[in-house]
Amino acid sequence: MPEYEAIIGLETHIQLNTTTKIFCACKADSWFDPPNTNICPVCTGLPGVLPVLNKAAVEKAVLLAAAMHAEIQPVSYFDRKNYFYPDLPKGYQISQYDQPLARGGYLDLPMPSGEVRRVRIHKLHIEEDAGKTKNEHGVRLIDFNRCGVPLVEMVTGPDLRSAEEAAQYLTRLRQLLRWLNVSEADMEKAHLRCDANVSIRPKGADYLNPKTEIKNVNSIVAVRDAIQKEIERQIREVEAGNRIEAWTLEWDEEAGVLRKMRSKETEADYRYFREPDLLPIRLDEAWKSAILAQLPELPLERRQRFIEAYGLPAYDADILTGERSLSEYFEAAVKAYAGDPKRVSNWLMNEVLRMINEKGVFASQLRLTPPYLAEIIHLVDQGIVNTSTGKSLLEKVEATGKSPSEIVQEEGLAKVSDQEAIRTACAEVLAESPEQVAAYHKGKVTLMGWFVGQVMKKTRGKADPQIARNLLEELLAK
């Protein structure tokens, strides 16, 4: 049997996080709103209305195009894409066809093997969204709230070779969209949608076979699972001597199966022509420069810099550049600490990130500022507080907004290094624990950790644990 490889291309629709829709003043994000409450004559396609382009949608799309290394076009046009469906009230969608906002571009994917997979972008264009249909009890209900929501569509080349690579592409794309603040990129809320084109061929071949298109996937895990199922199905079909037909398939996540929806449309079916009610987008150099001035250092570039400049392992750099405000928090903390960046990374990844996840906030929203984190690490380094107290300070600073040193002074949290005070606490613990002392003397030496814990408890975490251990060993040896 021949060995097969998958050929995968992805079409992603990205909802831009503008305040209003692309051609009218209706609110763009209506996920939590009742059906048909954010609509007007423009986005519902009533006769006689004229669209007016949202400037912010163009600017966000240009920023994304630049981050994708695409060639931004000085002039681009809108077109009408004609098809009839209940949730498309005009009977056409305003999109871009042969002269889009940007062409080409790529996104590099660092793979677990160390290889970098370059995924090329065919084109990037802006368009309006359609509405949403829902079937209930045999009745089709239509919600026009999404009509006119601004989208960017990006089509990749056939450069992905596995379901896992497709999932990796979407993960990196979602990271980039949030980094640039052009989209919330939440697939469950349809801010980021993906259709996958899948075909197979014998490994080593250089031709393309007929492809199928997978729709209705609303998470990265679902995209990966659906693609894997389709690869396996196509291999079974080919080995049975059957021909792969260019069908559009629907993914049923609950059943974990693909179902045929319809035969795949071609471009001719849409009868594209120029949108007569909109002028072309003319992106002059001054406007383009003003937009590109907002382009930050990109996540993969920052990841590499963290590895090279701070000596971080690739794992740390990946975590710390997973979200933009976290990476900025780390750099500010390193600057304030003026010590080993890896030590800051350890505290941030093990303790602060847990706090961020529990609170559901961004690093920039913490009351525990980067200088406060650096101050806590210094207090531990200098032996003023022990590690356990240092970790508790994180929560106390976050809750009160006070400086770590202020809290240490107010609550008397400074580490007790006075041997006599610790000796007294050790003696009290042993006197209160005759059974454990007897067990220790019979050979259960692992109880030493328990004794130290009791001393720490008695001293409210302020005793130096190593001094406590030494004194306990001395007292128990008598």
pLDDT at residue 467, rounded to an integer:
85
- Determine contact, residues 64/182, Cβ cutoff 8 Å: yes
- Determine contact, residues 15/190, Cβ cutoff 8 Å: yes
Domain end, chosen from 411, 443, 467, is at 411
Check residue 88 and give left, alpha or beta (phi > 0: left; psi -120 to 50: alpha).
beta
Over residues 88-133, the pLDDT tens digits come to: 999 999 999 999 999 999 999 887 777 888 999 999 999 999 999 8
Determine phi and psi for 252, rounding to 5 degrees: -100, 100
pLDDT at residue 111, rounded to an integer:
78
Say whether both 153 and 51 belong to one domain: yes
pLDDT at residue 266, rounded to an integer:
63
The tokens describing 281, both together, are 């987008």
pLDDT at residue 209, rounded to an integer:
92
Q: For residue 262, what are the β-bridge partners?
A: 248
Domain that residue 28 falls in? 4-291
* CATH code for the domain of 463: 1.10.10.410
Collect all residues with Cβ–Cβ distance below 8 Å to 206 and sequence separation of at least 6. none
- Determine contact, residues 458/425, Cβ cutoff 8 Å: yes
Say whether both 203 and 121 belong to one domain: yes
Domain end, chosen from 358, 392, 411, is at 411
- Determine contact, residues 462/389, Cβ cutoff 8 Å: yes
Domain end, chosen from 265, 291, 317, is at 291
Say whether both 223 and 283 belong to one domain: yes
Structural domains in the chain (count): 3
**Cα dist. 206→6, 17, 155, 275 in Å?**
12, 40, 21, 38
Collect all residues with Cβ–Cβ distance below 8 Å to 176 and sequence separation of at least 6. 64, 67, 68, 107, 298, 299
Say whether both 379 and 430 belong to one domain: no
337: exposed, middle or buried (Cβ count in 10 Å: 0-12, 13-18, 19+):
buried
Say whether both 58 and 94 belong to one domain: yes
Collect all residues with Cβ–Cβ distance below 8 Å to 4 and sequence separation of at least 6. 200, 201, 202, 203, 231, 235, 238
Q: For the chain, which residues score pLDDT lower than 70?
A: 1-2, 262-267, 415-418
Over residues 137-175, the pLDDT tens digits come to: 889 999 999 999 999 999 999 999 999 999 999 999 999
Say whether both 90 and 112 belong to one domain: yes
Say whether both 19 and 128 belong to one domain: yes
CA dihedral 339, 341, 346, 348 (to 10 degrees): 100
Q: For residue 197, what are the β-bridge partners?
A: 9, 213
Say whether both 446 and 314 belong to one domain: no
Say whether both 364 and 472 belong to one domain: no
